[in-house]
Amino acid sequence: MTDARIDAVINFVREGSRVADVGADHGYLSIELIKSGRATFVTATEKNLQPLEAARKNISAAGLEKVIDTRHGDGLKILSAGEVDTICIAGMGGALITKILDESPEVVNAARQLILQPMNASEKVRTWLNENGWAVDDEDLAEAGGVIYEIISAVKISESVPKNFKRDSSPLKKKFLQQRAEKIRRVLDEMNKSSVARTSGKFYATKEKFAALQKEIDSLNGD
Ligand SMILES: C[S@@+](CC[C@H](N)C(=O)[O-])C[C@H]1O[C@@H](n2cnc3c(N)ncnc32)[C@H](O)[C@@H]1O
């Protein structure tokens, strides 16, 4: 089973990759990675037994046990350095994604590409990449179930080549920015109700963020 979010993750995987699917849940991403021909081998990790069992069942039903290894454990801790060249972490919060990356530096440093799809706090993920020698080499947006998701691909800074990101020409870009601006506007409205919050540094930083987003939206409108 696939959707636009999973497809967008898969589209960033280079053909012939050995991929880690961290937090594989039902195993759909792992299965589609093999079916699409992008991955030659997938190591699917899962911290919780119930989803792991579901993944094993789905992988077995697809007849892919020989090319998808399922492992029970925390993040990347159950992989050895050099076992995978691509690490996919999709459907988790930005803080958990960076924690998983931080906890397994050898595995991360031996990889060639990180494909990350944070459910929130994407700024935290971007900061982590910046601070750890990775450069965003492409980004996309995908809508599934009425939600717009961000998908980020990163390579080592030394391998990074400037190019146009998929996200910049995505038909979802304006809607995504508008939704994000609306969320920030609601935060500002709440902060405005308290004189302490209204005079805090966070309020001014949030206001600046809102203004920058609005400017980007206006530029898309040709204003
Ligand atoms: C919302 S699901 C996302 C599933 C799938 N990656 C996707 O994008 O469709 C998150 C999964 O990550 C698993 N998970 C959470 N923390 C984890 C960790 N530290 N290591 C491995 N799996 C984890 C959860 O049990 C859950 O099945």
Nearest-angstrom CA–CA distance, 24 and 47: 9
CATH number at residue 29: 3.40.50.150
pLDDT above 90 for 221: no
| Residue 212 placed within a domain | yes
Percent of the chain with pLDDT over 90: 94
pLDDT of residue 223: 67
Q: What is the pLDDT of residues 85-127, one digit of tens each?
A: 999 999 999 999 999 999 999 999 999 999 999 999 999 999 9
Query: 222 CA distance to ligand 1 centroid (A)?
Result: 40
Nearest-angstrom CA–CA distance, 57 and 144: 24
Q: What is the pLDDT of residues 3-17, one digit of tens each?
A: 999 999 999 999 999
Nearest-angstrom CA–CA distance, 147 and 131: 29
| Residue 168 placed within a domain | no
Instruction: Kindly report the protein residue whose alpha carbon is nearest to atom 12 of ligand 1.
Output: 23
Q: What is the pLDDT of residues 53-96, one digit of tens each?
A: 999 999 999 999 999 999 999 999 999 999 999 999 999 999 99
Query: 54 CA distance to ligand 1 centroid (A)?
Result: 12
Taking residue 10's Cβ as centre, other Cβ atoms within 10 Å add up to 21
CA distances (Å), origin 49, targets 1, 46, 52, 70, 216? 21, 7, 5, 11, 44
Count of H helices and E strands in the chain? 9, 7
The token pair that represents 49 in the structure block: 């037994």
pLDDT above 80 for 43: yes
Instruction: Kindly report the protein residue whose alpha carbon is nearest to atom 9 of ligand 1.
Output: 91
- For residue 99, the ligand 1 atom closest to its alpha carbon is 19
Nearest-angstrom CA–CA distance, 65 and 56: 8
Residues 69 and 159 in one domain: yes
Domain termination site, one of 114, 133, 163: 163
Give every CB contact of residue 169 below 8 A, 6+ residues apart in sequence.
none
Q: What is the DSSP string of 115-164?
A: EEEESS-HHHHHHHHHHTTEEEEEEEEEEETTEEEEEEEEEEGGG-----
The C-alpha angle with vertex 86 and arms to 85 and 90, in degrees rounded to 5, equals 160
Residues 199 and 124 in one domain: no
Candidates 25, 42, 78: which one to mutate for ligand 1, based on the most atoms within 8 Å of Cβ? Answer: 25
Nearest-angstrom CA–CA distance, 179 and 64: 39
Pocket lined around ligand 1, Cβ cut-off 6 Å = 22-25, 29, 45-48, 51, 74-75, 90-92, 96, 100
Query: 48 CA distance to ligand 1 centroid (A)?
Result: 8
Instruction: Kindly report the protein residue whose alpha carbon is nearest to atom 3 of ligand 1.
Output: 91
Nearest-angstrom CA–CA distance, 52 and 195: 49
- For residue 9, the ligand 1 atom closest to its alpha carbon is 8
Residue type, 167: R
* Domain that residue 142 falls in: 4-163
Name the band, by pLDDT with cuts 50, 70 and 90, for residue 183.
very high
Percent of the chain with pLDDT over 70: 100
pLDDT of residue 170: 95
Residues 54 and 124 in one domain: yes
Residue type, 84: V
pLDDT above 70 for 21: yes
Name the band, by pLDDT with cuts 50, 70 and 90, for residue 134.
very high
Give the global pTM. Answer: 0.93
| Residue 30 placed within a domain | yes
Domain termination site, one of 133, 163, 193: 163
- The mean of the pLDDT values for the chain is 95
